[in-house]
Structure 1
Amino acid sequence: MIDILVAGGGPAGLAAAIRAATAGLEAVVVEPRPLPVDKACGEGIMPSGVAALRALGVTPAGSTLRGIRYVEGPRRAEAVFRGGPGLGVRRTALHAALHRRATELGVRVVTGRAGEVRQDDDSVTTAGLTARWLVAADGLHSPLRRSLGLERPRTSPRRYGLRRHYRIAPWTDFVEVHWSREGEAYVTPVGEELVGVAVLSRHRRSHEQHLTAFPALARTLRGLEAGPVRGAGPLRRTVSAPGAGRVLLAGDAAG
């Protein structure tokens, strides 16, 4: 019998499978899409996240981040990370690095989608596979979280995220958080000639419309788009419990 079955082959699911494999357990990941997958993501990893990746044996290429800077018009406030540098990295690069490490450790990734979950005192079955434990890492809109009755109603305002890359040399080694009454724009260096801009807001507008709330940033980035816009939301999720029986929620599925 499989020790750990992971539903969802994103960064959280692969990290769980890698951790299981390094503990000497058999881990199998079920994922319907070919890897790596590009999704809306801020793409900035805090120092603690960099350390966690290193502990898993994962060292993706990216841009060193020295700290965070908050910008609102002419006003700025910034702080340097105390626990070492962070890392700005394309989500696809992070995903590919995690997949390589999982493969090195013998983690099997099978094409499929976790659906109905059946479990008893000793095992759990989904997607035609039976394991001792199931990690539900099937994302922000987790069907497994809903089917297990673990999703709680949202009470806070809904927020949505949009991310786009721009072909420009980063002008700082800080993550810049630009503030306005309309929302925030997170600018993250992710390469020598590439920055990612993730916008968070309660308003459902296009990426270009959101950038009008940050005139100086919009002028800097105008005409330098490098790829499509990716979106996600509503972003906030809460759960009534971290798991049910032999199923544990992880990553975005865990709220």
Structure 2
Amino acid sequence: MIDILVAGGGPAGLAAAIRAAQAGLEAVVVEPRPAPVDKACGEGIMPGGLAALHRLGVRPAGHPLRGIRYTDGRRSAEAAFRGAYGLGVRRTELHAALHARAETLGVRIVEGKVREVRQGRDTVTAAGLTARWLIAADGLHSPLRRALGLDRPVPGPGRYGLRRHYRLAPWTDLVEVHWSPYGEAYVTPVGERLVGVALLGRDRRPYEDHLAAFPALAARLTGP
């Protein structure tokens, strides 16, 4: 019998399956999309997260991160990480590295989607598979969590994220967090000539409109 059935083959689901395999358990991941899957995110892994990846045997390529800088265009504050570096890494690179490691450890990855769950006395059945335990790793807005009645209301208004990559040399080895009354911009070097910019705000607007709230950053990204 399968020990661990994981609904969702993103970074969280694959990390759970890898850890289960390292512990000698049989893990199966059910995921509808082929890896790697891209989505908007900050693409910065803090030192603790990087150490956790290394314990899983996962070492994605990326750009070392020395610390974090916060700025509103007039004032700034920064600090270096203590004793270790983080890593700026494309989400696709991270996902591919986790996927490859899972397959190396014998984790079976099944194309499909968990829609219904049947709970037995000592087992759980989903997607035609029966296991001792089920891990719901099917995303921030987990349909499985909602179907099981485990959802909780999120206080406050929702926020929207957009991201682009710029083919230019990073100007710093820090993650930069720019903020304005309209939202934040997370700037992460992810390669020798690649910088990721993720914008987060409460309004659903085009990327260019969000970026305009950060004129100094926009000038650096679109300069000569």
Normalised to the residue count of structure 1, the TM-score between the two structures is 0.86
| Counterpart position of 1:143 | 143
Q: State the match for 2:101 in structure 1.
A: 101
Aligned length: 224
CA distance in 1, matches of 2:159, 2:145: 20
Matched, 1:202 2:199: no
Q: Deviations over 1:152-202 (max 9, x none)?
A: 112222111111111111000000001100110000000011110011111
Deviations 1:44-98, CA, capped at 9 Å, x for gaps = 0000000000000001010000000011112110000014000000000000100
1:188 corresponding residue in structure 2: 188
Answer whether contact 1:31 1:113 (CA < 8 A) is retained.
yes
Which residue of the partner structure matches residue 228 of structure 1?
A: none
Q: Which residue of 2 aligns with 1:20?
A: 20
Q: Counterpart in 1 of 2:42?
A: 42
- Aligned mates of 1:120, 1:171 — CA distance in 2: 56
> CA–CA distance in 2 between the matches of 1:12 and 1:99?
11
CA distance in structure 1 between the partners assigned to 2:25 and 2:198 by the alignment: 37
Superposition CA RMSD, Å:
1.2
Ranges in structure 1 where 5+ consecutive residues have no aligned partner: 225-255
Structure 2: runs of 5+ lacking an equivalent:
none
CA distance in 1, matches of 2:152, 2:97: 33
Q: Distance in 2 between matches of 1:116 and 1:99?
A: 25
Is contact 1:48–1:83 with CA below 8 Å preserved after alignment? Answer: no
Give TM-score scaled by structure 2 length: 0.98
CA-to-aligned-CA distance 1:126-152 (integer Å, 9 cap, x gap): 111110000110001211010011111
Q: Is the contact made by 1:169 and 1:192 (CA closer than 8 Å) also made in structure 2?
A: yes
Q: Indicate the residue corresponding to 1:222 in structure 2.
A: 222
Counterparts of 2:46 and 2:84, CA distance in 1: 9
Structure 2 SS opposite 1:152: coil
Amino acid at match of 2:196: G
- In the alignment, the residues of structure 1 paired with residue 23 and residue 157 of structure 2 have an alpha-carbon distance, to the nearest angstrom, of 40
In the TM superposition, structure 1's runs of 4+ consecutive aligned residues that sit over 2 Å from their partners are: none
Equivalent residue number for residue 56 of structure 1: 56
C-alpha deviation, 1:223, in angstroms:
8.2
Shift, 1:41, TM fit: 1.1
